[in-house]
Amino acid sequence: MRGFSTNAIHAGQEPDPHTGAVITPIHASSTFAQDGVGGLRAGYEYSRSANPTRTALQECLAALEGGRHAVAFGSGMGASDVLLRVLLKPGDHLVIPHDAYGGTFRLVDKVLTQWGVEYTPVDLADVDALRAAVRPTTRAVWCETPTNPLLGIADIAAVADVARTAGARLVVDNTFASPYLQQPLALGADVVLHSTTKYVGGHSDVVGGALVTSDDELAEALRFTQNSVGSVPGPFDAWLTLRGAKTLAVRMERHSDNAERVAELLAGHPAVGRVFYPGRPEHPGHEVAAKQMRRFGGMVSFTVAGGREAALRVCAATEIFTLAESLGGVESLIEHPAAMTHASVAGSALEVPDDLVRLSVGIEDVEDLVDDLRQALAAAAG
Ligand SMILES: *Cc1c(COP(=O)(O)O)cnc(C)c1O
């Protein structure tokens, strides 16, 4: 079996048989010529159903997650929507993480509940809490690890055990780790979800999502529902994502190096309260993370000792860290989850602390990142 980076660069990406183009072409065509009615040349008919650039991306992503099938989407939420509609019917029950990605929570809480789906938020770091939450009607357990924005860690193999016993499918949102750092299918997950907008794309220039599974029937159902509802990525988006994926391994190594240094600075800084980074030995999920992840990734959150106002001042004072939502790009970003990415969970069980700051640590020179945070913390302290 080939290694991760060889797959990232070559899986699904043979040189073009007609021209020899080394790089997969952007097949900007909505429709494909047929040799007689129904005589499809390479299985392509209409680009909502399938497009060759998208196929290349899907084959690459399947190889990276160690799955048999991948389905690429126009966004992570598009992928989540199709997956949940395939897994759940009215009356079914779903378990979600108690600090799920805000958009996932909104989709479940505001949209799916209109169709009679019930859900329970659970701290998935606590397997007993999960065992207590599953019901006879539980059809799916939705797991994120590390979680967003608190970097909580769930033991994927242990969660998979409980889900299997309950007769529920396990979904792992692997966006924060990326397939380079963590491979949930090998740990017992039924489906892996990615917002490829983040680390897989890696350059903050494209929105996309993907589902990966080794279950043939499930893959067929996902393709059928995607084709029915139409949440597909365009060929340009698929191409950008594929280009980004080629460098995923080297980027994740550098993200991890830089985040470790940043977490170390924060942990020793008097203006900082708690630091949330699974690579720190004092993190409650450190041992589980060390067992199931190659390294600990580029996301670091922390509370600011001066409270909400001081946290907002830190976000306003950085010069290299750009104040923006999203994550996983080469450039460093800073944000205030309670007012930005997680505004949709305010007042719910998933509310996040208002003195929390989240960093997406990029791959710039780490000394510059550390200096920038030092000056921002000093400025915020007044
Ligand atoms: C961004 C994100 C999503 C949603 O993906 P989009 O591409 O924005 O639709 C889902 N899960 C996690 C963990 C995310 O960070």
Out of 81, 96, 195, give the residue to mutate to test ligand 1, the one with the largest number of ligand atoms within 8 Å of its CB.
195
Residue whose CA is at the smallest distance from ligand 1 atom 2: 195
Do 14 and 144 lie in one domain? The reply is: yes
The full DSSP string for 95-125 is EEETT--HHHHHIIIIIGGGGT-EEEEE-TT
Residue carrying the six token digits 């939502």:
325
Residue 116 CA: distances (Å) to CA of 108, 142, 234: 11, 18, 32
Q: Is 173 in the pocket of ligand 1 (CB under 6 A)?
A: yes
Contact call for residues 307 and 382 (beta carbons, < 8 A): no
Count the domains in the chain: 2
Per-residue pLDDT at 224 = 98
Q: Distance between CA 59 and CA 159 in Å, rounded?
A: 27
Domain end point (choices 212, 228, 245) = 245
Question: Is residue 299 domain-shared with residue 317, that is, in the same domain?
Answer: yes
Question: Are 94 and 111 contacting, i.e. CB atoms less than 8 angstroms apart?
Answer: no
* Residue 135 belongs to domain with CATH number: 3.40.640.10
Verify that 157 and 207 share a domain, yes or no. Answer: yes
Residues comprising the chain, all counted: 382
Query: 196 CA distance to ligand 1 centroid (A)?
Result: 8
What is the predicted pLDDT for the residue at 272?
A: 97
pLDDT of residue 250: 98
Residues 165 and 285 in one domain: no
229 and 280 assigned to the same domain: no
**35 three-class SS:** coil
Task: Tell me the two tokens of residue 124.
Answer: 């998935």
Give me the residue label for tokens 């913390």. 377
Euclidean distance between CA atoms 33 and 43, whole angstroms: 11
Whether 204 and 255 map to the same domain: the answer is no
Q: What's the pLDDT at 349?
A: 66
For position 151, what pLDDT does the model report? 95
- Residues known to be catalytic: 48, 101, 173, 198
CA of 55 to the centre of ligand 1 (A): 21
* Amino acid 102: pLDDT: 86
* Residues 235, 258 within the same domain: no
Residue 60 Cα to ligand 1 middle (Å): 20
Residues 233 and 291 in one domain: no
> Alpha-carbon torsion 294, 299, 303, 304, what sign?
positive
Q: At which of 223, 245, 267 does a domain end?
A: 245
Other CB atoms within a 10 A radius of the CB of residue 66 amount to 17
CA 75 to ligand 1 centroid distance, Å: 8
pLDDT for 341 equals 78
- What is the DSSP code string of 184-208? GGGGT-SEEEEETTTTTT-SSS---
Give the end of a domain, one of 245, 263, 298. 245
pLDDT at 148: 87
Residues 170 and 304 in one domain: no
Give the CATH number for residue 300: 3.90.1150.10
Q: In what order do the strands lie in the sheet with 272-276?
A: 272-276, 299-304, 356-360, 333-335, 322-323
Which residues neighbour 160 within 8 Å (Cβ) at sequence distance 6 or greater? 170, 187, 188, 189
If asked whether residues 176 and 261 sit together in one domain, one would say no
Is the CB of residue 208 less than 8 Å from the CB of residue 181? Answer: no
Average pLDDT for runs of 10 along the chain of length 382: 96 95 98 94 95 98 98 98 98 94 93 97 97 98 94 97 98 98 98 98 98 98 98 98 98 98 97 98 97 98 96 97 97 95 73 93 98 96 76
Cβ of residue 213 lying under 6 Å from some atom of ligand 1: no
Question: Which amino acid belongs to residue 283?
Answer: H
Residue 23: how many other CB atoms lie within 10 Å: 13
Question: SS3 of 210, please?
Answer: strand
Assess whether 104 and 217 both reside in one domain.
Answer: yes
Cβ burial of 281 (10 Å; 0-12, 13-18, 19+) is exposed
Ligand 1 lined by 145 (C-beta under 6 Å): no
Q: Is 178 a pocket residue for ligand 1 (Cβ < 6 Å)?
A: no
Residue-range definition of the domain harbouring residue 21? 4-245
Find, among 198, 194, 165, 150, the residue nearest to 329 by Cα. Answer: 198
Residues 274 and 299 occupy one common structural domain: yes
pLDDT at 347: 75
Distance CA 49, CA 278 (A): 40
At 227-277, the pLDDT tens digits run: 999 999 999 999 999 999 999 999 999 999 999 999 999 999 999 999 999
Atom of ligand 1 nearest to the CA of 78: 9
Beta partners for residue 34, in sequence order: 40
